[in-house]
Structure 1
Amino acid sequence: MILSDKTIIKMLDENSLVIKPITKEQIQPASVDIRLGNTFSIVDDTPSGIITLESKTNYKTIKTDTYLILPGQFVLATTMEYFELPDNLTAFVEGRSSLGRMGLFIQNAGWVDPGFKGEITLELYNANRCAIELKCGRRVGQLVFAEMDDHALNPYNGKYQGQTDATGSRVFMDPDKF
């Protein structure tokens, strides 16, 4: 079941769902707007020009209130908000259609597991032929919350738990998984 604004407000008031900072204007009828934080990371060039899944990928990270994403550029960014989801609630990350219509694709693999705590790292891609100026605090997407039929047996406690800032891939930490 998708949560309504009324249920989201109730959960925030009860502190069973944590979103900080948040304004009442961010709460939409069936979602919560997420805003762009001030941390951006791009993959560091490798001598071979190849990124492998078995070794750590290095990133160049900057903190700034304005970032110019170039045409065809991929950058990691973070949300301004910090989240704590209970173990019976999951969320979908959706980009804003008005930004998608400008060629800015926003994703985070689309899913936030029950029990997750931290800022959400967003993957941004500029599919336009022009650079796009990004500003900290700008609404860039939304979270749609869905209540599960029961509490998770194993709430999220993975390698991104507690992340802050734009967090790079940690796929190298689980080489036994596909």
Structure 2
Amino acid sequence: MILSDKTLQAMLSAGTLTITPLIEDQIQPASVDIRLGNTFSVVEDSPSGMINMENEIRYKTITSESYILLPNQFVLATTMEYFDLPDDLTAFVEGRSSLGRMGLFIQNAGWVDPGFKGEITLELYNANRCAIELKAGRRIGQLVFAKKDAPTLHPYNGKYQGQKGATGSRVFLDNENQR
């Protein structure tokens, strides 16, 4: 069941859902608007010109109030908000239609697990022929929350728990856990 603004406001007031910082008009009828944070990360060039999933990927991270996303460029960004989801709530990351119409795609994996705590890393791609200026604090997307039928048996406690800032891929850790 997708949660309404009334339910979201009640959960925020009761402290069972935490979103900080949050201003009242971010709460929409069936979602919460998310704003762009001020850290951006791009994959550093590698000597081989190739990325593999067995080794840690190196990123160049900057803190800035704006970032110029060039045509056909990919950048990691973060939400301004920090989230703390209870064990019986999940969320979906969705882009804003008005930004998609400019050619800005939010390529997020799209899923926030129950029990997640942290800022959400967003994968942004400029499909336009023109550069797009990204500004911290601007509404970039929305979270749609859904209530689970019961609390999860194993709340999220993975490699991105507690993340702050634009956090690069940690897929190489999957390989270490499989050895």
* TM-score after normalising by structure 1: 0.98
Residue 108 of structure 1: CA displacement?
1.8
Residues 103-146 of structure 1, C-alpha deviation per residue, up to 9 Å, x if partnerless? Answer: 00013200000000000000000000000000000000000000
Counterpart CA distance in 1 for 2:150 and 2:163 is 26
Residue 93 of structure 1: CA displacement?
0.1
Residue 160 of structure 1: CA displacement?
0.1
Match of 1:79 in 2: 79
Name segments (4+ residues, structure 1) moved above 3 Å: none
Q: Tell me, which stretches of 5 or more residues in structure 1 are unaligned?
A: none
- Fraction of identical pairs, as percent: 74
* 1:1-178 correspondence to structure 2 within 5 Å: 1-175=1-175
Q: Tell me, which stretches of 5 or more residues in structure 2 are unaligned?
A: none
Counterpart CA distance in 1 for 2:116 and 2:107 is 17
Counterpart CA distance in 1 for 2:107 and 2:169 is 14
Counterpart CA distance in 1 for 2:145 and 2:127 is 28
CA RMSD of aligned residues (A): 0.7
Counterpart CA distance in 1 for 2:5 and 2:107 is 23
Q: For the Cα contact (< 8 Å) 1:108–1:120, is it kept in 2?
A: no
Aligned length: 177
Q: For the Cα contact (< 8 Å) 1:83–1:118, is it kept in 2?
A: yes
Residues 21-69 of structure 1, C-alpha deviation per residue, up to 9 Å, x if partnerless? Answer: 0001000000000000000000000000000000000000000001000
Q: Secondary structure at the match of 2:61?
A: strand
Q: Secondary structure at the match of 2:8?
A: helix
Counterpart CA distance in 2 for 1:96 and 1:52 is 31
